[in-house]
Structure 1
């Protein structure tokens, strides 16, 4: 701090005043604000709610920071592929039927960068992604009144807490609300030899519902979360839609005589799962 008594500075150019002096008032020289050196927390809950043959959509839970998160950097393997100011990003230009692993890091305005999120592996859809639709719950045929799926075969449910026990279709998806009770079935009865995966597009009200129900198809019946996925992982239902791709042969499912796809909710859980579509690809 310069003395509160006005100081005079002599200017080489005397035009600043009659005597060439300039009076200054009090001048305070402060130390300045502190430097932000704290990195944001790592993003959590990284998932892929949807994918196509050439793209993968990603979403995650926001990071926190003592000043504020400026954005996120998205990595495919070790390569940064983009940034986002929100908690979502879609990576494009990918190859069909290919596995990609992603992580996300948060950064703040001072340039501090968080640790990487837990990785998520995404497998893009094969070129023949149209596949065979068992039911997309678009209202044609109407569920449950028509009692028919998109293959024209029987479907129905009971013991659910909505839709009079059958579950309810809303917004093009089947909502199944359960409390340790509920059964859904949809007849396939078609040769699936041309297809490699059962694709369940699903989300849960709370996440973790994969332990609440079993799935039966082609002579195999087990808790949904116990099926083996490509790469050795297991299904995990989240609060955002995702395509859970269950390889048929690797799980011992009879593709020639698959019979009925059935789901039973007698495993002690209570929640709601919403199924956007069931298909074979």
Structure 2
């Protein structure tokens, strides 16, 4: 009886997975085929728009260099993302303790989001030196604001009646934060982390454009610049695809972790 109930469930899950994955895969195949045919039929120069086959060849030929560059960029992006997670949540908790404090300091958090990272990247090189530290700080600056904003919004959205209930039972500020506010804000925090995950990769690559080369360690940003200067557009596309894959991997890891944390009690993680 148990086996007969599991097989249909497994088949249903497989059909659902195929139904979800098939449309984007078909669209991707059609796009790549059209791209390949167009570049060959129109004779588009490879340095302007290489066909997908040339990009694939470059990815295979330079696989070792791409893998090393991706690893270097990943280290800086993950470190910056970890910093934005820790400091962003702590900053939001601090701002949530006082409305005057929030009004005084929140504009400076917004400033981190509005100032172009390219404009301050040279300062990061002067302050932290070229290489990984400056790139990590760049990733942190770009990705911290969504964490602060979403965590603060989640804490502020807690039902007043629940706060009153905790106050009625004599719960202190720390107990209310740990047992009520942070758990209630967790869906908002996960949303902020999903946004920050992609932004951390962007911040790391932009930081590498200015500060990313140190002691022979070159990430994807440096590889993109090098391929551009050599008119290796096929390698440039391959590096961009590696950056996109890195961002998707980090985003997927955050989404999976958030889903595991929320699936037992929050509707957003069900289904």
Task: Give the number of the structure whose alpha-carbon radius of gyration is greater.
Answer: 1
* Structure richer in helix, relative to its length: 2
Higher strand share: 1
Instruction: Give the TM-score, by structure 2 length.
Output: 0.22
Larger RCO (CA under 8 A, 6+ residues apart): 2
User: With structure 1 as the length reference, what TM-score do the two structures score?
Assistant: 0.22
